[in-house]
A and B are shown apart, each in its own frame.
Chain A
């Protein structure tokens, strides 16, 4: 585990240890079940003391997540989980703090807190379940819905251009940015593993199917018949190719700013540790609403001191200067400056 400040579990934990006694109440067939199962199965691997793990969420279907994890948890208010988790994480370096959020929670009402948590590099693992729809309020378009989307609140089609969540996170210079898919447990867990090992903010977008209000939104990259032509699996140190026999390559055209998909050509070798976020940003631009070329995996993973670390160091440095008991220090502070005595 990355953070040396977080205590390890004295006993070997199992999947069962992370299941709470609460009945899971998502709609049958919801992608959230798969993510929950993958997380519960993955958590013991981290070997973190269960009581030092905290899940904080906002509002929305995904935000029920903490109730089902047998750790500490807070189901907070709409959009504010990153802010609440920031205060918790910055003041408690011994905790592993996870934020579970959705596309509406993180990108609409809570957009400000998300980008500020990322730019500060707070030591949070942020899992954004993106289903491109408002589920809990029964089917309005979300900030990741494609333009023209017809929903209950947009009978003539949405006029809004969607966010690309990874581009947004990279614009905020997030130090760890990844994407995965609810139904691919192996990939999901590999991304969670990398996120957990990252010191600082780790932002993970998880494509998640809402089978009630937006069913099949990611079918193009899930269906075994079509996915290989559209899904780009990023692997550190490997050329970025996809399609039958790797016939498509991601290339950097000379003189261009961005990346392109070409048949053949010199495939770029993926390196998530490139410090300049421009590279990962260019990768993030390959995927649009239509999902026709969609990278998954770790886009960016760079080292930068976390907010928590800086805050804690300032506290420690200040405390190192201390002489006397707290009461004595307080007494000195109260009597600082110009005083006078009446006898």
Chain B
């Protein structure tokens, strides 16, 4: 068994850095997501703050070596708290010419590029349109290029292990990981443990991958090409236990927590769709918490089954992306008419239509707020970061259960697949979501009125089948106030439409908080959802340069916080950056008559902090 010798080589210089951004890029089959993930985990162990961003094609395996097949993983780590995966990589690991070509334009001059020279063959260069190798034509001047024969050195390192050449080649990502782990002085024990777990049935592959990792580490140690080793000290973070978590994983755990804290069974109806499927995968593992998952025949059945389960007294949940929400619209309206709890998770992706399934966007806000027939209001919530998905999911379930309403949770691909350290909450501190089902008649003569409302919450009783004496019928037809009988009475319809609006509008949500350390800002930047990180980073950068700016971020998009109008009116300028063409800005302008300035990007990529910093600087300076 190979053991990694992690002792620092005395002859190498060690340089301290406060932050680094590394991007691992290669072919879809090169294992870049795994490599990035392991590097992240090692970095988390060290106590750096981290933020990650995977970027992969929708195709599972686009033709090898082509530009559409490039998959990358970016990790930003620092000795202070950071808010984004970083605008530009300081280091690019390019496993082939396509990875180099696809990522080169993102690199600032002076960046390090580690290339796998074995893949820079005539054929591979031609595939991406390089007539001459960029390693030889001087086009990479201005970068620090480290040519490394990654594949052949990996094969060489495994020569004695009696491993098939194909398997040996495949371990080259571990060589790259070993090298980078050496360069940045990462602890590697968790990676070795991970390899043992991952290949538990293939001891030969455990040995091969460990040997490749060791070879990469040793290469860094001995080659003269890498004269400096770097260190990034742990960040000062709040005391507690942390784990690194993606938004989708955190969201799934938030739903598990909702099941536990409500003491109710949970029923997830879902149809596979990128980028939401991971939530289905995760929840399907947690049956012991009383969670049933059903992979339905389509999006409509998925929400239908969830609603049926809610009717039966479970927390009904459906998880999807924009195209799925479009299909679920009619059932969401039914849930609004039935006034039953339902959580609808929309992990947004770039649209319209199939759009770009693996790219991010925030363009489903209008659909979430308005995308139904009739007057059909519901609650809309958005998480602001990967770990916040946990709390947002719990909050969505809390509101759905308390107010008997569908709630749309608007995540997006950026937070869903990005990751960051998560300070684990104490379970006892999580909210108690217990509900009371109706058990007794609620009207004279032992009658049960299914639409008699709680005066405080305006919610109707949740009387589940199996409760004797409360037999009643509900449906999509307009119901008479209190009795729930079918009604075409004009005054009743007017009343019911208005009370459905009022009961959502009157749900109490926390006031929006403004972050304005200088306390004299005249410009407020308002965001929602996943733009929190880049907006926050841009605001910090401006403040460090002496330019005051205030930041407010919305979790609750419907109903909006009660103090929002007042907050908006206390600034000279309100800027709203969104990854859509101004959907929140439209709401704000219409509702508060505030001349908000929209700033929009719909590239499928998150804002960089620099983009926002430049834009906001202009507003702060020039008004």
A52 touches B260 (CB 8 A): no
B292 touches A340 (CB 8 A): no
Interface segment, one of A199-207, A252-260, A329-337: A329-337
Given A83-B300, A339-B424, A343-B239, residue A319 in contact with residue B312 (CB < 8 A): no
A84 touches B304 (CB 8 A): yes
B386 interfacial by beta-carbon distance below 8 Å: no
A318 interfacial by beta-carbon distance below 8 Å: yes
CB distance from B406 to the nearest CB of A (A): 14
Interface segment, one of B177-185, B212-220, B351-359, B466-474: B466-474
A80 interfacial by beta-carbon distance below 8 Å: yes
What is the 8 Å Cβ interface bit string for chain A, positions 64-102, against chain B (1 contact, 0 not)? 001101111111111010011111111110110000000
CB distance from B572 to the nearest CB of A (A): 40
Which of A95, A315, A321, A335 interacts with B465 by CB under 8 Å?
Answer: A95
CB distance from A180 to the nearest CB of B (A): 25
Interface size of A by CB at 8 A reads 62
CB distance from B515 to the nearest CB of A (A): 23
In the complex, what distance in Å separates the CA atom of A340 from the CA atom of B47? 8
Which of B244, B305, B426 interacts with A83 by CB under 8 Å?
Answer: B305
B428 touches A87 (CB 8 A): no
What is the 8 Å Cβ interface bit string for chain B, positions 357-385, against chain A (1 contact, 0 not)? 00000000000000000000000000000
Of listed B298, B334, B427, B472, residue having the most chain A CB within 10 A: B427
A51 touches B311 (CB 8 A): no
In the complex, what distance in Å separates the CA atom of A58 from the CA atom of B257? 34
Closest to B447 in A: A21
A335 touches B297 (CB 8 A): no
A327 touches B313 (CB 8 A): no
A338 touches B45 (CB 8 A): yes
Given A84-B311, A338-B244, residue A94 in contact with residue B41 (CB < 8 A): no
Point out the residues of chain B lying under 8 angstroms from A72, CB to CB.
465, 471-473
Closest to A57 in B: B475
A22 interfacial by beta-carbon distance below 8 Å: yes
B240 interfacial by beta-carbon distance below 8 Å: yes
B290 touches A88 (CB 8 A): no
B267 touches A329 (CB 8 A): no
B473 touches A67 (CB 8 A): yes
What is the 8 Å Cβ interface bit string for chain B, positions 540-584, against chain A (1 contact, 0 not)? 000000000000000000000000000000000000000000000
Point out the residues of chain A lying under 8 angstroms from B477, CB to CB.
75
B256 interfacial by beta-carbon distance below 8 Å: yes
CB distance from B463 to the nearest CB of A (A): 8
What is the 8 Å Cβ interface bit string for chain A, positions 131-156, against chain B (1 contact, 0 not)? 00000000000000000000000000
Which of B559-614 touch A at CB < 8 Å? none
In the complex, what distance in Å separates the CA atom of A314 from the CA atom of B286? 11
Say what secondary structure dominates the interface of chain B.
Answer: mixed
Which of B251-300 touch A at CB < 8 Å? 253, 256-257, 260, 263, 265, 267, 269, 286-290, 292, 294, 296-298, 300
A50 interfacial by beta-carbon distance below 8 Å: yes
Point out the residues of chain A lying under 8 angstroms from B298, CB to CB.
112
CB distance from A186 to the nearest CB of B (A): 28
Which of B13-50 touch A at CB < 8 Å? 41, 44-45, 47
Which of B288, B297, B427, B476 interacts with A113 by CB under 8 Å?
Answer: B297
Which of A298-343 touch B at CB < 8 Å? 311, 314-315, 317-319, 321-322, 326-331, 333-343
B243 interfacial by beta-carbon distance below 8 Å: yes
CB distance from B186 to the nearest CB of A (A): 13
B253 touches A333 (CB 8 A): yes
B469 touches A327 (CB 8 A): no
Point out the residues of chain B lying under 8 angstroms from A340, CB to CB.
44-45, 47, 241-243
B301 interfacial by beta-carbon distance below 8 Å: yes
A326 touches B312 (CB 8 A): no
B301 touches A330 (CB 8 A): no
In the complex, what distance in Å separates the CA atom of A70 from the CA atom of B240? 56
Closest to A337 in B: B243
B471 touches A71 (CB 8 A): yes
Given A70-B471, A87-B308, A339-B424, residue A76 in contact with residue B476 (CB < 8 A): yes
Point out the residues of chain A lying under 8 angstroms from B310, CB to CB.
87
A88 touches B260 (CB 8 A): no
Point out the residues of chain A lying under 8 angstroms from B476, CB to CB.
59, 75-77
B331 interfacial by beta-carbon distance below 8 Å: yes
Given A80-B301, A338-B41, residue A91 in contact with residue B286 (CB < 8 A): no
Which residues of B come within 8 Å of A, CB atoms? 41, 44-45, 47, 190, 234, 237-244, 253, 256-257, 260, 263, 265, 267, 269, 286-290, 292, 294, 296-298, 300-301, 304-314, 316, 330-331, 334, 338, 424-428, 465-477, 485-486
List 10 A–B pairs whose Cβ atoms lie within 8 Å, in order of A's numbering: A51-B465, A67-B475, A75-B475, A86-B301, A86-B305, A88-B309, A322-B288, A326-B260, A337-B243, A341-B241
Q: Which 4 A-B pairs have the closest CB atoms?
A: A75-B475, A87-B305, A87-B308, A83-B304
| Known contacts A88-B308, A116-B296, then 13 further A-B pairs from the complex at CB < 8 Å, ordered by chain A residue | A50-B471, A51-B467, A51-B469, A71-B471, A72-B473, A74-B475, A87-B316, A88-B311, A91-B308, A95-B465, A95-B466, A341-B242, A342-B241
